[in-house]
Structures are given as structure tokens and as C-alpha cells.
């Protein structure tokens, strides 16, 4: 058109402006860690920078290549806008991958502005275009007419686009996602923004209460915790869950992995304990089916003397004599029974989902070549659990 038009990308909100940049998730730490399952939100802000040129921009096109670690099928458009704080918002309906507002007339400009956006899944390129149309819905013939004037303190020369996307399901742990945008005003040379970079954490952390659990005086016991997040963002917090005498597990303590080291366990009960870790991007360790460790305080002294209690009236272990375990059910139920060692590891399966009628029943522990020592038997029926200590003398 014979007129040099201006346009440089900037980050909003003001007053801090960073030329040629795209904003993405803040993430955790200097690597900007994000969860591999999270929705990642991006925004590109652009500005017809005063002092570079003197004419309004008629067309502004933002192009965003999609990083190889991101899933183009999960791409969704967000809202857009132009004209600064007192400007014009373009609301994009939810769950859209393509959009065309058809051209909206803005009376303060005396112009139509058509906004189109979408993604090409083959080329992996998302494109967002603002186009000026005159009152006849045609491109203006006057090069000094356009939707985006040179910017001033009102922000009228600014605009933005937004979109969201997720990581691929097979993205690698530690993969760096880099997102840039190319911004072109009319026929000027495109301006490439600086990258918004994030590192993907795709695996949940692991943790374990490591025996022994040592008395510290009163009801307090010292714990040794082991946790790991592989190549990820690191373990943030650990929750400790405790079951007393086979009752349902309940959250007993929670805190930073490096701080959580004591648990209150009143004497007179058999406790099953396990830990569950959460990393710095919110990925949660899967729930555990077995305890990390079993703590026997039925005599008031750690690991001494037999004892135990029924978990709930619907299910009770009534006696443990030698290799025989007697239990009672209030109603017919499918039963699972397992023998654990002191570290919470299963060593014998006594029942695996067999149906038992209401009443009392007996299971036999197949000791085989198991030597003398202390272990525990757990019986589950529906949502009920019962646990008792077993002493193997020979």
C-alpha cells in the first residue's frame, strides 16, 4: 500500500512491557514445571507501537506453531480483543477449534472487524486474524484507515488472542515445551515473539513409610519417609493415612516431605500406615491397596504381646489360634483375607473374593516353610476391614 505500518508484540498487563514475547503457564520453579495432564493456557499480546509507524493496521495476523509435545486435538480457542482496557472483547464460545465472528461493526471506529481463528492439525499451525472491513464490508482503500491505530497511553493500539491446549498423552517426562508466535501487520515483515517455555511432569511421585517406626515418648513415634518424583518437579507434600484395628483409613498428618517425621499413635491398637505424595505440579501418588508398615501397640509396647479388635460390627476376627483364623460376618459378603509381615508386605493369601454367608467361618494359614515371628492377618468384606496380630512360634 506504500505506507509502512508498525507493530510489535508485547506482554500485557502494563506497565511492564516485554517486546516480542508470548505468555504461557507460570509453572513451578525456574524450569516452569507443569503437569502433563493440565490444561495449558496461552496468550499473545500485540501492539501497533507508536513511533515506529504512523498508520493504523488494517490486518493483524498471529500464527502459533504447536510444539511436538502438545496434542493438537486438544487445542481450544479462547477469547480475543483489541483496543486496550476500554476496547473491544471478542467472546469465543466454549470448546471451539475454529471461529469466525462474521465481522462486527464498531461505531467508535466506523468500521467492521472480522476475527477468524483456527488450527491446521496437519501443519500444526494455529492462526488468528483480525481484518478491517469498511461499511460495505470490503477492505478499505484508504491506507490510513484501520482497526488498530498507533498505540498511546489508553492502550488503543493493543490487541490479544488466547487459546488452550494439553500435552500429548505420550509426552516424555522432562520434555521442554516451547511456544512462540509470529505477528504480522498488513504486509510488513513478521515479528517473532520470544518463547514461553514449560517443562512437563508426566509421572506421579512415589513415597513409602520405611520401617522401623520408633517410639519418641508418649504417643509420638518417629517415621522415616522415602519419596521420589523421578525426573519431575519434585515431591511437595506427603499425606499419612492410618487405620486403627482394621477401621477405614483416615488422614492422620500432612506436610512437606522434608518436615513430616512424627506421628501420634495412642497405645492399645494395631495400626496400618501408608503415605501418599503430591508433587509440585499437583500430581498425586495413586492410592495404595496395602499399608507401608504395621505398628502393633496392643500391649502399650511396640511389637509385644498378642491382641487386636474388630474393625466394625459387620465384620470381626473373633480368634486366631495357631494357623486358624476365625471371623464372623453379619451378612453374606465377598471376602478377601491376606497375611502381611511387619513391613506391610503380603506373604499369604487366604481368600480372594470368595463369597461367605453370614455367621462364623475359619480360614487356615498355609505357613509352609515360614519361620517363627510376628505377622498380621487382614480380612476385608465389602467396605469393612478387620486386622489381628498372629504369632508364629515355630
Read off the pLDDT band of 202 (50, 70, 90). very high
4-13, 101-110, 192-201, 367-376: the lowest-pLDDT one: 4-13
What pLDDT shows up at residue 5? 32
- pLDDT tens for 150-168 read 888 888 889 999 999 999 9
Percent of the chain's residues with pLDDT above 90: 51
Judge contact between 19 and 9, C-beta under 8 A. yes
- What HEC string does 98-148 produce? EEECCCEEECCCCEEEEEEEEEECCCCEEEEEEEEECCCCCCCCCCCCCCE
Cell of 286: 495413586
- pLDDT tens for 117-151 read 999 999 999 999 999 999 999 999 998 899 999 88
Read off the pLDDT band of 336 (50, 70, 90). very high
Cell of 300: 502399650
User: How large is the average pLDDT for residues 100-118?
Assistant: 95
User: How large is the average pLDDT for residues 253-263?
Assistant: 85
What pLDDT shows up at residue 2? 32
84 pLDDT above the threshold of 80: no
Q: Which residue has the higher pLDDT, 200 or 21?
A: 200
Distances from the Cα of 209 to the Cα of 15, 235, 261, 343, 377, angstroms: 49, 15, 10, 9, 20
What pLDDT shows up at residue 32? 97
Calpha distance 27→101 (Å, rounded): 33
Amino acid at each position: 500500500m506504500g505506507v509502512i505500518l508498525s507493530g510489535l508484540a508485547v506482554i500485557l498487563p502494563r506497565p511492564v512491557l516485554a517486546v516480542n514475547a508470548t505468555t504461557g503457564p507460570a509453572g513451578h520453579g525456574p524450569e516452569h514445571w507443569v503437569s502433563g495432564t493440565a490444561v495449558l493456557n496461552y496468550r499473545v499480546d500485540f501492539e501497533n507501537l507508536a513511533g515506529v509507524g504512523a498508520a493504523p493496521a488494517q490486518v493483524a495476523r498471529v500464527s502459533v506453531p504447536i510444539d511436538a509435545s502438545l496434542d493438537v486435538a486438544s487445542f481450544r480457542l479462547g477469547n480475543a480483543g483489541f483496543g486496550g482496557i476500554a476496547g473491544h472483547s471478542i467472546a469465543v464460545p466454549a470448546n471451539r477449534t475454529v471461529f469466525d465472528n462474521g465481522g462486527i461493526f464498531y461505531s467508535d471506529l466506523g468500521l467492521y472487524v472480522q476475527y477468524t481463528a483456527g488450527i491446521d492439525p496437519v501443519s500444526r499451525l494455529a492462526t488468528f486474524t483480525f481484518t478491517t472491513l469498511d461499511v460495505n464490508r470490503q477492505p478499505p482503500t484508504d491506507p490510513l484507515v484501520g482497526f488498530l491505530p498507533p498505540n498511546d497511553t489508553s492502550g488503543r493500539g493493543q490487541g490479544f488472542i488466547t487459546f488452550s491446549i494439553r500435552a500429548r498423552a505420550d509426552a516424555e517426562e522432562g520434555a521442554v515445551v516451547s511456544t512462540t508466535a509470529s505477528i504480522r501487520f498488513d504486509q510488513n515483515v513478521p515479528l517473532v515473539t520470544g518463547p514461553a517455555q514449560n517443562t512437563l511432569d508426566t509421572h506421579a511421585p512415589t513415597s513409602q513409610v520405611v520401617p522401623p517406626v520408633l517410639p519418641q515418648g508418649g504417643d509420638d513415634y518417629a517415621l522415616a519417609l522415602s519419596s521420589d518424583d523421578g525426573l519431575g518437579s519434585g515431591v511437595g507434600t506427603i499425606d499419612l493415612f492410618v487405620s486403627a484395628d482394621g477401621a477405614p483409613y483416615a488422614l492422620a498428618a500432612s506436610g512437606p516431605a522434608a518436615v513430616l517425621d512424627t506421628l501420634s499413635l495412642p497405645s492399645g491398637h494395631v495400626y496400618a500406615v501408608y503415605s501418599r505424595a503430591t508433587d509440585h505440579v499437583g500430581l498425586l501418588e495413586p492410592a495404595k491397596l496395602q499399608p507401608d508398615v504395621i505398628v502393633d501397640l496392643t500391649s502399650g509396647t511396640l511389637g509385644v504381646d498378642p491382641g487386636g479388635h474388630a474393625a466394625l460390627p459387620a465384620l470381626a476376627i473373633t480368634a486366631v489360634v495357631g494357623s486358624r483364623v476365625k471371623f464372623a460376618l453379619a451378612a453374606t459378603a465377598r471376602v478377601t483375607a491376606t497375611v502381611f509381615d511387619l513391613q506391610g508386605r503380603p506373604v499369604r493369601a487366604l481368600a480372594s473374593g470368595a463369597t461367605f454367608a453370614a455367621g462364623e467361618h475359619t480360614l487356615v494359614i498355609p505357613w509352609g516353610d515360614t519361620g517363627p515371628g510376628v505377622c498380621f492377618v487382614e480380612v476385608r468384606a465389602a467396605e469393612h476391614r478387620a486386622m489381628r496380630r498372629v504369632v508364629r512360634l515355630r
